[in-house]
Structure 1
Amino acid sequence: MLALLMVASIEGTIRFSQVSRHQECPLPLKKSVPNSPPTSQNFPYFYQLNNKYDPYGSCLLTSTAMVLGCLGKTVSPDSLYLEFQKRNLDRFLHSDIQYLLNEYEIDDNWSTNHQWSRVISHLKAGYPAIFSGPVSFTSRGHVIVLLGVEDDNFSCHDPYGKFDGTKYLNKPEAGKFVHYSRELIFAQSAGGSATTWAHLCQPHQPLKRVIGDENCSQQFKNKVRLVAKKINCDPSDLMAVISWESDGTFSPSKQNYAGSGATGLIQFMPHTALALGTTTQVLAQMTALDQLDYVEEYFNMIDPAKLKKSLADLYMAVLYPKAIGKSLNYGLFTTPGIAYQQNSGLDINRDGTISVSEAVAKIQARFI
């Protein structure tokens, strides 16, 4: 259960300046996410000029609150504004919008280059999207919520009112379920009718159960989802790797049984911790939530061209990065040798050689 990290073989520059940027605070009570796509009756509307805080600069925040409402979460734009302040988040930074939506158990597929066909399919499935363009609707740019597609029109919640193509009608109900033509919407998009800026939002899909996941808070599981999205892997696979490496404890201070000094969620080796700008002693004192930032940064050290993020490659990235992309029969460690001794529990058939398939079998066995 040792993460034998070959840092010297990993290419790339390490940058890690925002380890504790996000403050972990309990979220207010909220309704549960519906199991099926929302209906139009579930789409609440907020008029941004009614907001107490920055009414003329809160279209993105107001649109985020409306999307949360569409997906079963009860939150006002003003309470969301205060939550961003409390957590030291930037309400204009899309990665922070994505971070907070994830905390509300909402999957946010954010891109500046979504194909419109992808967006329309998302809307037809019954889920909302946050939409804008660089100079859309107003000279400063504006953000609205796309709710669906009807014939040649998009059904929208526009937090600023109703846009007629040249100017706005600013009234509290004017932007509710407003219909904008495809031509109008495409004209606001930086990519025209081909691509667009959008947050595609829907409830989290359930994680697969793994051994020891009862030791994890919901916040931890939500953050695993966010890390998995950033490193482009299946979050359930990442949970399984952490379950194995931490012996089901999900503890940031878990020590390796073989005495190698490996520590934590993915058993950071001492030299790996140094490469990440920290030490195993410091890692052991962190919360599991904070240590997930270092898990993310570790994977970011690995050349993405070498890492397909299958379950096998994901675990090889932790155990032995030189084996990424190798066949399942590839031999990792043989006896005699310190690496074999420290990982002998992986040698299922006891033939003196640990193969990729044997190592991955241990991860697959974590699913319950």
Structure 2
Amino acid sequence: MSWNSNSFAGAVAAPLVMVIALFAQPALAQNGDDISEIEALDQALRPYVMPESGPFRPDRIAIGQAAAIADWAKSGHANAASESFAHWNDAGEIPPVCATCHAGAGFRALYGLDGSEPGIPEHPVPTGGVVDCETCHNPGLSEIREVRFPSGLMHPVGPGEASCLTCHQGRAAGSTVAEATFDQAEDEPNPELGFINPHYAVAAATWLGGYGGSGYHYPGKSYSGRFFHARPVASCASCHEPHSLQVQTDSCLTCHEQASPGAIRISRISHDGSGDLGKGIRADIETNAARLKAMLGDYAAQVAGTAMVYDGNRHPYFFADANGDGRADEADGRPVPFNAWTPRLLKAAYNWKFVTADPGAFAHNPHYVLELLYDSIEDLGGPLDLDMAAAGLHR
């Protein structure tokens, strides 16, 4: 059979001629009434268009997870513009060790959920990724039986826990600080020492307490272990809606009368020396953390010999202030990192940063963080002649 372009063109043109002819006449319906040109066109073209695709029109397909997807899209886990995910945008790629938590692709590579060998990704991961659906819903997550913490602890996990505990454990432990300061004079500045950052949003590390070993533990002291809370509170999702990440405060009301979690006390001891047992335990933690921060500055100036300022927006956060004007010294247009760390100062600063890096510490493990703060204040207070009894603090 030969190809005849003229025949094909004629076949295509014929219906168009019919349509034109239709509009050349008055538009009449089958009962003789006038109809609109659009309706007439619809009738004329009906034999020549594709039939409707049954029940699968996109606008008619119900999405069962629509609410969950909408909640996730508004959460911090989906905010590609946040510092958590946009920090490396200028570089165009995320370092492998960072990508394990700051990109869904990196997390899947860590556990081999993408078919690769489990471990830190071999190459940098492109920017633009977030904590996506596959980060928490990959079928392979059910095969993960334990998660390694910076202290070396291998913690057993249940279904759905691996992603939370992997990315909210921090990147340092008390053992990291102990190793860096081993066998050094407690109050002698060492220019080789630098601030050790526990990292950010360390809720999982706080939750496991002394058992997890993420805080610096002073020799001879005992520390509270994992905070089991009440029996129904068994995992992160017991309190946090997993898609919106909002705290489900209604569950608190099952046992506590206070409407706000921050107002819950759970202690008959005044840890901050105020004697006020009517306020929430969070207030005691915040007061002792503020006291410790002030002591860090006093110790740096009086014992280490160099004033120090803190800037939470710039790493490594603690900067030198040699002229004591309350501002970080600068060299070549950049702030000068504090470089007069003593072992005693570094231990206390690490614990302060660990406690304050978890804004929910008062709910995740209040006993543990109060112990870390008390011991740090007590140790730092020695050279500062702080009378702990007179301060009225309780561990």
TM interval, shorter chain, is under 0.3
**TM-score normalised by length of structure 2:** 0.26
**TM-score normalised by length of structure 1:** 0.27
**Structure ID, larger Rg:** 2
Structure 1 or 2: more strand by fraction:
1
